[in-house]
Structure 1
Amino acid sequence: MMPLKNIVTRSASPSCSIPSLFISLSLLCILPLSLFFFFHSSPNPQMNLLQTTPPNSIKVYVADLPTSLNYGLLENYWALDSDSRIGSEVDNEIRKKTHIGGKSSKKFLPYPENPIIKQYSAEYWILGDLMTPEKLKLGSSFAKRVFSADEADVIFVPFFATLSAEMQLIVNKGVFRKKKPGNQDYQRQRMVVDFLKQTDAWKRSGGRDHVFVITDPVAMWHVKDEVAPAILLVVDFGGWYKLDSNTANETSSDMIHHTQVSLLKDVIVPYTHLLPRLPLSENQKRETLIYFKGAKHRHRGGIVREKLWDLLINEPRVVMEEGFPNATGREQSIKGMRTSEFCLHPAGDTPTSCRLFDAVQSLCIPVIVSDNIELPFEGMVDYSEFSVFVAVSDALQPSLLVNHLRSYSNDQKDRFRRNMALVQPIFEYENGQPGGIGPVSPNGAINYIWRKVHQKLPMIKETIIREKRKPLGALVPLRCHCT
């Protein structure tokens, strides 16, 4: 295998990680013994790829927002006659066939299938889990709902921020970025923030223990600064970069402004994958070396995509397709990913896309060319066990990327795929229940999200306590430069 200074080439060997902010002396004493029993009792040693011993639960209070800000938005969406945007034909067909629409037509409303919206459906499944009665969960959920904010570890904000933004783009795109009466999304954002700021829970913590789902880069566009102290569930930090004007002329592309996001408090969550899962038992021979389907032209960090396209388009066993995962594009993507060894994942307008999770579900080894990428559940999942990471500077050298991928042996590629099969479930939101209300998979995305939030609690509690002791009127400089 040819050496590359910035490419992760470590083979998928067993490893064990215990994500924790602090490890006590007693844990250090018993760790060797616990590892012995783990390796000798697990039916599949490779399962140590995942964190398997989480704490018991996290106590979650659901803020008392009006239904119009969550399930009511679904009623409004399905009540639309149609949506003319790309990818919407699938939902238009659902409206025709099932007559969804109106406030009394369905007890449980599905989330849109339009891929533009569906890829950001975490808000729907997380709330569905919290709405499920405890007696039906049978211990499947890591989040335990409590009905007093005083008892809670965190306060969940049940606002369908993605659906609110996308509804506005459907109804009146022209006012989307304007703070004016015609922008219903802005009005809903203000309603959420103004309501929360009047609650005792927000006043006690400054919102730091509140959890917002903001997966769509354009969601909550007008109030990002106001909710920034909270725990944000985001797919990446691409929509949150804000360079400090004092460093604008320096090499500062990695800087995140202190009023925005931080890995210390926020949680990176998966996109909802758009392609179905391929079981390892159904994997077949793959004739294509590298596959990519998507838009060639992107903005900001995504300009690397166009350069990669021009380098790879004429390479043998490389397929570069321009398109979108609508009805036709979806079938092309399924075929392309399932018949390819590697699936290219370059940065787009933001560092990530749902393409990465479609690749995992298709057992197509992800090749990640995105220097600023953040990934879900790191510390609980080791991506280098089933993905190849390539620095942008290396990937743009002629023939270097293709030659490197060709150097992987069949045994190495098979090992990557076996590891992908192990992690497929943790990127799965859907529980097959009407309205998303029902037991979730113990090893699914929702439980992994809450486990990750639980890891943040000590730091969040410390921040709340430090803020309380600050004298009134004291000016403390904000120094956070967190990555």
Structure 2
Amino acid sequence: MPLKNTGTTLHSSTLKALCSIPSLFLSIALVTILLSSLFFLRSTPRLHSSSYSAASSSSSSSSRSPFSDRIKVYVAQLPRSLNYGLLESYWSSPHADSRISTDPDHQSGPTHLRKFPAGSRHPPYPENPLIKQYSAEYWILGDLETPPELRGGSLAERVGSWEEADVVFVPFFATLSTEMQLGWDKGKFRKKEGNEDYERQREVVDLVKSSEAWRRSGGRDHVFVLTDPVAMWHVRDEIAPAILLVVDFGGWYRLDSKSSNGSSSDLVHHTQVSLLKDVIVPYTHLLPRLHLPESQKRQTLLYFKGAKHRHRGGVVREKLWDLLVELPGVIMEEGFPNATGREQSIKGMRSSEFCLHPAGDTPTSCRLFDAIESLCIPVIVSDDIELPFEGILDYSDFSVFVATADALRPNWLTNHLRSFSEEQKDRFRRNMAKVQSNFEYNSGHPGGIGPIPPDGAVNYIWKKVHQKLPMIKEAIVRERRKPHGVSVPLRCHCT
């Protein structure tokens, strides 16, 4: 009974408190909040289930790969003769490349052509090092040609119409076209008459610019691969609004011939390229990959193999050569990437702590990526260089950057390199090993058709193109709203 009375007394007092006006309002408010919360929790999955699923899928995808969004790509309709048909012409031609015909490791005539299965729709890309180093176009199109069910690892989603695409990829093997002309009839390269490369350039531009997709955007969402510094040389001004995939901007510079009687070394920057809209892509490396556990002790301090005499920015290379060639611990070899030269480069890079990377005719070369594949720490002496995938990769983690003025001081460069500790050099090589795959194009499939590695060069190119989309879309909108007869500038000029 006492327990019962106690319970009754407590219940009675609670009722009295709840019946007070402030407590009553408080109770009603609490009940309202509770009911609202229950309604929200119950209704959210029904109203936003698709968004929730997409977010979950995106999160899950992000944990599996470095990319969280895909880019929708439409492949422009071009005749086969402008891409894979060009490869068939290359393989069936009796002409040897005139630039390497005196090379003892190169057999002249049709015997230098590697055989591939008859009727193959996707021929292999040439092994000729002068051409292979520019093969990005082949691997990018190979990714897009891969059946959709096998392309889960690619950032690019191929779509069937230009209306639903983020970008329009133009499948012209511009570099192969250029290299075939340079190799077989270089004298006509700068001319239009009798220049087969120019005829192909003209055909591509006329077809693309007559399309509804080009007229919609003024070409700003079109993607051209121009890895050779002189690819599409005759029509660059016409495709300037597009997204250009280039190895650097060196091919767009020229000497100012109007000053100092043509002897000026001042560079005039063309307004056709810009980091705002264009993408710097890697050369294709020519040397095989060295894995970190395979790396041996390195006896040489600094290694370089290449041509001593170059044009434009390459004058620095010649000065560096004269400064370094006689120094202990330094190997400077003049050579060509033929079979013998390739083996020398493999041995030289794998046995050296540092690999010199001075500017040549343009600010960069495939030598940088050969060094990375060989785990030879790049020493970059090129004040105007632009590098692939910056913003995603930090080159200072695995490369040494040296100002040209410092490098040209006697003994400065070798003393600087010797100041690095073994621990620092090991860290550079470990960081290099982590990014080697980012500079590799080969998908490992015949004809380049097959799933690409998620961390390979092609996917990283798509990632960089994806980063350009907001600016491209803004430029297209600005173009659409301009009054008739008024030109809205691209505003993507070099600075």
2:176 corresponds to: 163
Calculate the TM-score normalised by the size of structure 2: 0.82
- Counterpart of 1:237 in structure 2 is 249
The residue number in structure 2 matching 1:125 is 139
Q: Provide the identity percentage.
A: 71
Report the CA distance between 1:475 and its aligned residue.
4.8
Q: Secondary structure at the match of 1:212?
A: strand
Alignment-derived partner of residue 184 in structure 1: 196
Does residue 356 (structure 1) correspond to residue 371 (structure 2)? The answer is no
**1:97 shift after superposition:** 8.7
Counterparts of 1:99 and 1:392, CA distance in 2: 42
Shift of 1:54: 2.4
CA distances 1:65-102 after superposition (whole Å, capped 9, x unpaired): 0000000000000001241434577785996498738x
In the other structure, the counterpart of 1:142 is 155
Which of the residues 449, 460, 484 maps onto 1:472?
A: 484
What is the DSSP-based 3-state SS (H/G/I as helix, E as strand, rest coil) of the residue aligned with 1:418?
A: helix
2:99 matches 1:81: no
1:441 aligns with 2:456: no
Rate the CA distance shift 1:242–1:94 in 2: closer, same or farther, 3 A: closer
In the alignment, which of 401, 407, 414 is matched to residue 419 of structure 2?
407
**Alpha-carbon distance in 2 for matches of 1:97, 1:305:** 32
Structure 1 residues 318 and 357: alpha-carbon distance in aligned structure 2, compared to 1, 3 A threshold: same
With over 3 angstroms needed to count, the CA separation of the structure-2 counterparts of 1:99 and 1:320, relative to structure 1, is closer
Q: Is the 8 A contact 1:298 1:349 kept in 2?
A: yes
Aligned residues: 430
Amino acid at match of 2:274: S
**1:473 Cα deviation (Å)?**
2.1
Change (3 A) 1:209 1:365: same
Return the match for 1:269 from 281, 287, 291: 281
How far 1:167 sits from its partner (Å)? Answer: 1.3
Query: For each residue in 1:444-482, what CA deviation from the matched residue of structure 2 results, as whole angstroms up to 9, or x when unmatched?
Result: 000000000000000011011111112222255676553
User: 2:24 corresponds to which residue?
Assistant: none
CA 1:150–1:475: 2 relative to 1, 3 Å: closer
Q: What SS does structure 1 have at the residue aligned with 2:137?
A: helix
Structure 2 residue 69 is the aligned partner of structure 1 residue 56: yes
Q: Which moved more, 1:345-354 or 1:470-479?
A: 470-479
Equivalent position of 1:11 in the other structure: none
Long gaps (5+) in structure 2:
1-58
The code of the aligned residue for 1:173 comes to: K
The unaligned stretches of length 5 or more in structure 1 are 1-36, 43-50
CA distance in 1, matches of 2:65, 2:413: 35
Which sits farther off after the overlay, 146-155 or 84-93? Answer: 84-93
Please say if residues 478 and 488 of structure 2, whose CA atoms lie closer than 8 Å, have aligned partners that are also in contact.
no
**Matched residues in 2 for 1:253 and 1:244: separation?**
6
Distance 2:243 2:229 in 1: 16
RMSD: 2.6
Which amino acid is the alignment partner of residue 161 of structure 1? Answer: A
CA contact (8 A) 1:255 1:481 kept: no
State how 1:304-323 maps to structure 2 within 5 Å: 304-323=316-335
Are residues 1:197 and 2:209 paired?
yes
Q: Considering only CA atoms, is the larger Rg found in Structure 1 or Structure 2?
A: 2
CA contact (8 A) 1:243 1:257 kept: no
The answer to whether residue 406 in structure 2 is matched with residue 391 in structure 1 is no
Match of 1:427 in 2: 439
Q: Contact 1:271/1:353 (CA < 8 Å) preserved in 2?
A: yes
Q: Which amino acid aligns with 2:136?
A: A
- The code of the aligned residue for 1:111 comes to Y
